[in-house]
Structure 1
């Protein structure tokens, strides 16, 4: 397994050599992102992820969330098509098959599953539904409860050869690993990437299934705030939608997420900014690499 010295530090110079695609033409050339998530009590996670995808360059945004939240989301994010999904009595999104969701997944270029979901069994059913409907070239971003569901059924990704990015925090990494993560997060990210056959972005430590690794070193404590992970997942989806390959999108997203936080420090301090305030910084951060 590669050691820490083999891991490349993500710098502006590295990213400039690995330039993002710049689509030309209409919104269709920048791809369609579908975000699936948002229980009755956490619709904001879908909002944050969806707007981040648009800020990163996605052309078309679609949100699928608990039916009771759909009308409010459609007003809050007028740029998006919003579809309500069946929900359980306690507000979790149910994983029941539905023609509308299946159609949206099949037509999307990128599907993000997880932001705001609750209920591990329901999330597992929903994840299976999405993977069954998605084409082999559809890029996937799995976050939050979708990672917990994946830890119970690693065969959903392992060996499938799908373009996918996993975005665990330390708790989710523990579920995916089946043990407590060690101090060397570069190595842990590489192990996860190999186990699940996907690119992994673990707190700025990015790894690909072929053993390549990168590390973003400018992230700060302020990013550890509610909703920040949803922004990162959406940012990744937007970059994938405009044509970046998974490892490239993960490296650019780790850098843009961290630097967008840094740009807020003069106004709010190191730990005073909100996840929603990261959104408006994303385009400028990407443009000034």
Structure 2
């Protein structure tokens, strides 16, 4: 009988994960690469990139098709930008050993090109968060995705994406035959990596069966997270923490906790762009000095 899932709480352990050393350099905190879609579809990737930078990744780069360079350049400053013309260009970008984490999915599209991009990124064997379109693209053959995943991956499905990848588990959950914790644990075991199953009760499970809950109900309610783009921000938070070197389950759990706290700090009227900007107040409340 597995133990119950632990509830994620703020405190010294979480604060220590986020702290930066006074003598550190930006390269000590990793380089996150966020893959973006074509023209008109870059907003989600930009949200993720901003979140990754705000949560403390030393550097963040958005990689997009050449045709989308002008659009993204107009909206990015501290986040760097690279254009790729084809898969060869993407593979060249992925070969940079300074890249420590990847964020795939927000605004990426769900066609064959996305399948090829995800396959190339997973082959680079870097810490990786897969969200949104990077999950939906494999809806017809989830086993194809599972075969490529490695232990440094984090999947971040919402209910619909979870159903596409794990239809039997979703059916059991909807029928009341299993709890969300049990379903997420089984999903993580099947995928062989960490799964963050989003919702008002977000459940994070590692492949070895450990599980955590980030609850955004009751006294910790954050109904303002029900807004377009908030999931893209969460994916970016996970990617930024992976880039910094946190273990996948720690990155996922810490990101989920910060996501709720940022929403609570900002309050009513929140839109996704506000979430990264609310993080400094959350960090100060935790007592972070660096």
For the aligned pair, the TM-score class normalised by the smaller chain equals 0.7 to 0.9
The answer for the alignment partner of 2:67 in structure 1 is 68
Deviation (angstroms), 1:155? 4.4
Measure, in 1, the Cα distance between the counterparts of 2:225 and 2:101. Answer: 24
Deviation (angstroms), 1:241? 1.1
The 1:27/1:185 distance shift into structure 2, 3 A limit, reads same
The 1:145/1:159 distance shift into structure 2, 3 A limit, reads closer
The answer for the alignment partner of 2:232 in structure 1 is 230
Say whether residues 1:112 and 2:107 are aligned partners: no
Say whether residues 1:260 and 2:262 are aligned partners: yes
TM-score relative to the length of structure 2: 0.85
Deviation (angstroms), 1:281? 1.0
Measure, in 2, the Cα distance between the counterparts of 1:242 and 1:284. Answer: 20
Measure, in 2, the Cα distance between the counterparts of 1:120 and 1:15. Answer: 41
Measure, in 2, the Cα distance between the counterparts of 1:46 and 1:257. Answer: 17
The answer for the alignment partner of 2:58 in structure 1 is 59
Q: Tell me, which stretches of 5 or more residues in structure 2 are unaligned?
A: none
Q: Tell me, which stretches of 5 or more residues in structure 1 are unaligned?
A: 87-95
Contact 1:141 1:233 in 2 (8 A): yes
Q: How many pairs are equivalent? A: 269
The answer for the alignment partner of 2:133 in structure 1 is 145
Say whether residues 1:221 and 2:223 are aligned partners: yes
Alignment of 1:163-182 (within 5 A): 163-179=152-168, 180-181=170-171, 182=173
The answer for the alignment partner of 1:91 in structure 2 is none
Structure 2 counterpart SS, 1:249: helix
The 1:18/1:57 distance shift into structure 2, 3 A limit, reads closer
The 1:284/1:241 distance shift into structure 2, 3 A limit, reads farther
TM-score relative to the length of structure 1: 0.85
Deviation (angstroms), 1:8? 0.5
Structure 1 counterpart SS, 2:94: helix
Deviation (angstroms), 1:68? 2.5
